[in-house]
Amino acid sequence: MADPFVPVHLSVNWFIVNNSSLNRGSSLLTVDEACSRPRGEQSDRPGNTEKEEKPISATLLGYEILKEREKFTVYKILIKRPEGGSWLIFRRYADFCMLSDQLRELFPGFHQALPPKRRFKDNYDGSFLEKRRLGLQTFLENLMLHKHISTSEPVTYFLSADDPSSPFYSTEESRAFCETLEQKNHRLLRELLEKQREVDSLTKSLEDKENYIDLLWRKKQHLLFISSCENKNILPTIEASRLQTENYSCGCC
């Protein structure tokens, strides 16, 4: 399962490219249906003014060790649009290496280093994977500092969502994705129950205050009645009438 950590949001100037624009073997899953825009819509002609896209956020949620035909580690990245909608992608360390190679070809001055490979020790050690996760997070952050790099085709494709029917969509990744959604559902359900308990508590508190106010009103009404009777000398008359009734009853006996 993925190890928890404090999410780091990345601002990405993102435009969608055609899924067939690059040929790579990364695996990923969608949460919301991804939009696609043909590359032909982009133009580099002078004077062409393109509408500036709003930034999205990319959060590296953690990693998970999977075992299907071979054991490997995938890193989960949550992509969010500012106007709403999100999807989850899975990327292996090899996908980051491929992205880095593509960026070096496009930008000869690109020198953002990835965390190093580990050749002679356990690649699934928890402390090693956590250090690698932090290194990959730093790598993504550094990419986003450069406008031309962050909006390049390799980066935007790396963050885009492919068709789940692609050959890189494995059963293990599907299971991991379902478990991620299950964890999210449990968290939302827990938050809902906490909110419901808070609502119930506030409702009871409101009822108690209403009952207390009603009691105070009744006491006030009673005191006003007594005060009114005293001012009109009604109470002595009522008391005398009561005593006379009692004496008459005793005489009859």
How far is it, in rounded angstroms, from Cα 87 to Cα 61? 12
Name the burial class of residue 137, with classes exposed (0-12), middle (13-18) and buried (19+) by CB atoms within 10 angstroms of its CB.
buried
The HSE-up count of residue 191 (CA atoms within 13 Å, CB side) is: 6
Q: Does the residue 236 lie in any domain?
A: yes
- Which is it for strands 11-13 and 55-67: parallel, antiparallel or unpaired? antiparallel
Residues 148, 231, single domain; the answer is no
Residues 224, 138, single domain; the answer is no
Which token pair is 25? 């073997």
- In the prediction, which pLDDT does 199 show? 92
Written as tens digits, the pLDDT of the chain (253 aa) is 444 443 444 444 433 333 334 444 444 333 333 333 333 444 444 444 445 555 566 667 766 666 555 677 888 887 777 677 777 788 888 899 999 999 999 998 888 888 887 766 667 778 888 888 888 988 988 888 888 888 889 988 888 875 444 444 555 555 666 666 677 777 888 888 889 999 999 999 999 999 999 999 988 888 888 877 766 665 556 666 666 666 655 555 5
Q: Does the residue 187 lie in any domain?
A: no
Q: Does the residue 215 lie in any domain?
A: no
Q: Which residues contact 177 (CB under 8 A, 6 or more apart)?
A: 29, 88, 90
CATH for 18? 3.30.1520.10
The answer to whether 153 and 17 are in contact (CB under 8 A) is: yes
- Which is it for strands 71-80 and 86-92: parallel, antiparallel or unpaired? antiparallel
- In the prediction, which pLDDT does 191 show? 87
**Domain stops at, among 169, 202, 236:** 169
- In the prediction, which pLDDT does 14 show? 38
**Domain stops at, among 169, 202, 233:** 169
Q: Does the residue 36 lie in any domain?
A: yes
- In the prediction, which pLDDT does 220 show? 86
**Domain stops at, among 139, 169, 199:** 169
- In the prediction, which pLDDT does 12 show? 42
List C-alpha distances in Å: 11 to 5, 16, 71, 87.
19, 15, 32, 16
Q: Does the residue 35 lie in any domain?
A: yes
Q: Does the residue 195 lie in any domain?
A: no
- 0.75 cut: is pTM over it? no
Residues 23, 90, single domain; the answer is yes
- For residue 89, what are the domain limits? 11-169
The total number of structural domains in the chain stands at: 2
Residues 49, 143, single domain; the answer is yes
How far is it, in rounded angstroms, from Cα 251 to Cα 253? 5
The HSE-up count of residue 66 (CA atoms within 13 Å, CB side) is: 20
- In the prediction, which pLDDT does 17 show? 37
Residues 145, 224, single domain; the answer is no
Task: State the residue for tokens 């909006």.
Answer: 151
- In the prediction, which pLDDT does 48 show? 46
Phi and psi at 72, nearest 5°, equal -155, 170
- In the prediction, which pLDDT does 130 show? 87
Q: Does the residue 200 lie in any domain?
A: no
Q: Does the residue 54 lie in any domain?
A: yes
